[in-house]
Every structure is written in C-alpha cells, then in structure tokens.
Structure 1
C-alpha cells in the first residue's frame, strides 16, 4: 500500500524539521508555499490550519495522484504553526510546519 503523502515541501524545498529554519523564513506579506505530493487513487481532502484557527486557510478536494498547494501570508512578524491535514477514507496524514516571519529581510 502506498503512502497518502509522498513528500511535503515548504517554499519549494523538501521540508525537514532539522534543517536550519533560516531557509524557510519570510518577511511580512510574502507568502509561504506549502505543497504536498499526494499518491493513490480516488479523492482526498486536504487543508492547512494555522495556530489552531477554526477556519482553514486552504481547504480542497483533490483527485489523486496530484499536488496540493496552499499559500499563506502574514501581516506581522512572529512564529506560527501550520498543520497540514490530508484525509482519504480511513487514512489520515498530519504534519506541523513551523512558519517564521521576520521583521525585515537580511541585508548583505
């Protein structure tokens, strides 16, 4: 049986929680791009929830195999946790992603 989610990317890089978080950081109003490469057959429900909000930022029904893409941006600096949730039938996948927004871009 294949995994539901083959790969997760953040800002076009394969997501790795052990990687230096600097490579994923953004400035205010610049969107984070969250992508999940989905495998299998049929349809799946995918969504991204930020900091436990009651309303999902992205909420889609996707025909498999396919790629789910969600872009989220924030107006203020700070750290947030986005939860990627993909469900199909009785199968479910969840992954927390740390989204850091810095006040201004690095100079130099």
Structure 2
C-alpha cells in the first residue's frame, strides 16, 4: 500500500504534466495543497518553498495533510512536499505559479 494516495493543489488532483494554468492564483489569493495519506501510525509532512517551511505537521494515518499559503509577489516557485511515515519516504516537487493579477475574461 502506498503512503500517498493523492495530492491536490487548489482542489484539483496534482499532475506535473497538466497545464500549469489550472493551478495558478493571483497575488495574495490563497493556495491549498493537500496530500491524502494511507497506512497506520503517524507521518511527518512538510511543504517547503525556496528553503522556507510553509507548513509542517504530524498526521495520524490514514489522514490528510492540509497546507494553505499565499504570496505577495508574482512569479514561479518550486515547492517540495516531503512525507515520512509507514516505513516510507515520499518527495514530490510542486510548481507554484503566482500571477500579477487575476485573468480577465
């Protein structure tokens, strides 16, 4: 059984091959990263972007890691989701795109 069942960004299943436009948010609008976890016991989950830890928690398995964050400046950042638990280590890069303003139209 895999530790991580599903990763969601902004309530959509995260897929690195999907057009990043699906996940974009304007400046100051909240992003939401979730990881649905399997197994038993506890897992430590952490999401870092450019060396800064945005969320960190211990989750009772099975359970959900939930991380909410926003940015004041536009740009593309690469975050790293790290989860350790159930004798497994999981690591996934997550692209975070922040727009100057909301799309028009």
TM-score in terms of structure 2 length: 0.96
Structure-2 residue corresponding to 1:88: 85
CA distance, structure 1, for counterparts of residue 3 and residue 66 of structure 2: 15
Kindly indicate whether the alpha-carbon contact (under 8 Å) linking 2:34 and 2:65 is maintained by their aligned counterparts in 1: yes
Give the 4+ runs in structure 1 shifted more than 3 A: none
TM-score, L = length of structure 1: 0.93
> CA offset at residue 89 of structure 1?
5.6
Match of 1:49 in 2: 48
The structure with the greater share of residues assigned to strand is: 2
1:1-108 map, 5 Å: 2-53=1-52, 56-88=53-85, 90-108=87-105
**Structure 2 residues not aligned, in runs of 5+:** none
Return 5+ residue gaps in structure 1 as ranges. none
